[in-house]
Each structure stands twice: as structure tokens, then as C-alpha cells.
A and B are shown apart, each in its own frame.
Chain A
Amino acid sequence: MPNTFTLIASSTVGSGGAANIDFTSIPSTYTDLVLKCSIRGSRSNAVDSIAIYFNNDTTSGRYPARMLYGTGSSATSYTTNTNYNDEYAYISGNSSTSNTFGNTEFYIPNYAGSTQKSVSIDSVGENNATTAFMSLTAFLYNQTTAISRITLVPYYGSSTILQYSTAYLYGIVKS
């Protein structure tokens, strides 16, 4: 069971926000990767969403996913489309409670291996109201190339990642 976390890199979004956060030249020396995010999106809604893609690869059909989510009043599960930004996670939108941020963790085992890559996502938006989304998602990056780059991007392309949002990328080695 992997039991060590090493911070590889982190980023805190500055004033003006960011269209995406791009971790490049990720070393291949770890067993797994974990990306922990605290993010508020600019979408004028209580709910916004975030996704990741690997190695600058946004090719359609390479990210099949299964998602379970709750809205605060109902729960739904479904198989998403297979575009990179369909395996999204929920974060706080800009109409959610002021100064709150959604929390998301992406777990990427065996990222440097030569097999297809499975990923788990656990996310929750923060909102002091009934409407507060949370989700569990599993997706496959169906390519065998080692992952050396991760791009964190809003699902709604016109949304941006707001100031004070953070992303921390950790490497984990097996014990």
C-alpha cells in the first residue's frame, strides 16, 4: 500500500484568474500521483466543474468515464461521453457562498507505466445552501504513454479558475 506523499509542485492562482493550470515535466520516479485542488470557478452558478487531461492530449474518445453525483436533492449515475472534459469534478461556482472553494482529489495510479491509465476523482463544491454538488468519478485514459503532463481545466471552457484557488501535485511511492 503506497504510504508516502512527496510534494512535486503546487500553484496558487493570482489576480485575474487562470484559464488552466498546467503541470509539465512530471518526473516518472513515483508509483502514483495525487492532485489535490481547492478551486472556485468563474461560472455564474452555484456549481462549476473542473477536468484534467494528460500529455496535452484532448483527442475525443480517449477519456471514457462513469460518474455518480449528488445535487443536494437527488443522486444520479451515468456513463459520460468520452471527451477529456466529460470526466469532470464539481467545484464551487461564483454564485456559491462567498469565499468558498470546492475540493477535488484526482488519484492517478501507475501513471508512469505502459498500460492504460485509470483515474479516480472525489469532489465536492462548497455552498451554504441546498444546491451543493458532490461526485465520485472513475475514468480511463486509454493510452499507454507515461503521463508527464497534467492540465487542469474548467469543464465550461469560458469559465476560469479564480484567484486563491490552489492545486498541489504529490507523488507517492510504494512502501
Chain B
Amino acid sequence: MSRPTRIEVDCSTGIESIIELTDAEIAQMEADAAAAAIRKAEEEAKAAAEAEAKASAQAKLAALGLTAEEIAALSK
């Protein structure tokens, strides 16, 4: 299997080079991928928790007798 490559464009000369990644660059790429996946999962979990809390709060307000329009007005 061929090694992944990157493109380097020297703006002073216009010369474009296709360069194979080094072992260190490949390791860094893999580490970045793992870290990005963790951060993305954390962001999605946080967004889901916030959406769940909002829905819970709206349900409680509705149980108190507020209309959907009144509940919506509170969040503006």
C-alpha cells in the first residue's frame, strides 16, 4: 500500500511538489483523528444534553399551564 502524500505549493516559485508523509506525520495524523473524534463526541453529547434539558423545561412549563406561544416567548 502506498504511503499517503501531501501537496506543497511554493508560492515564490509556483512549483508544486507531491511529498510522501513521514512516519511521524502519519502518527500525528492518526493522533489528530483520534482526538478530533473524541472532541466531536463531546460536543454532540453536550448539544444532546442541552436539547434534553430544554425539552424537559418546556414540558414542565406546559404542565404549569403555559401555552406553546408563551413558552416560545420565554426563550426569545
- Contact digits for B2-31, partner A, Cβ 8 Å, 1 yes 0 no: 101111111111101010010001001111
Total number of residue pairs linking A and B with CB closer than 8 Å: 77
- Are B11 and A23 in contact, CB atoms less than 8 angstroms apart? yes
Q: A156-B33, A157-B33 are in contact. Are A86 and B47 (CB under 8 A)?
A: no
- Contact digits for B34-60, partner A, Cβ 8 Å, 1 yes 0 no: 111101000100010000000000000
A115 within 8 A of B: no
- Are B11 and A156 in contact, CB atoms less than 8 angstroms apart? no
B32 within 8 A of A: yes
Contacts of A26 in B (CB 8 A): 11
Interface size class of B (residues with CB under 8 A): 20 to 34
- Are A24 and B10 in contact, CB atoms less than 8 angstroms apart? yes
- Are A157 and B11 in contact, CB atoms less than 8 angstroms apart? no
Contacts of A103 in B (CB 8 A): none
Contacts of B5 in A (CB 8 A): 16-19
- Are B7 and A11 in contact, CB atoms less than 8 angstroms apart? yes
- Are B4 and A160 in contact, CB atoms less than 8 angstroms apart? yes
B contacts, CB < 8 Å to A: 2, 4-14, 16, 18, 21, 25, 28-37, 39, 43, 47
Q: List 7 A-B contacts (CB under 8 A).
A: A11-B16, A13-B7, A24-B11, A85-B36, A155-B36, A156-B33, A157-B30
A contacts, CB < 8 Å to B: 8-11, 13-14, 16-27, 76, 78, 81, 83, 85-86, 155-160, 169
List 12 extra interface pairs beyond A9-B9, A20-B6, A157-B35, CB under 8 A. A8-B11, A9-B10, A9-B11, A11-B7, A19-B5, A21-B9, A23-B11, A25-B13, A78-B47, A85-B36, A157-B34, A159-B33
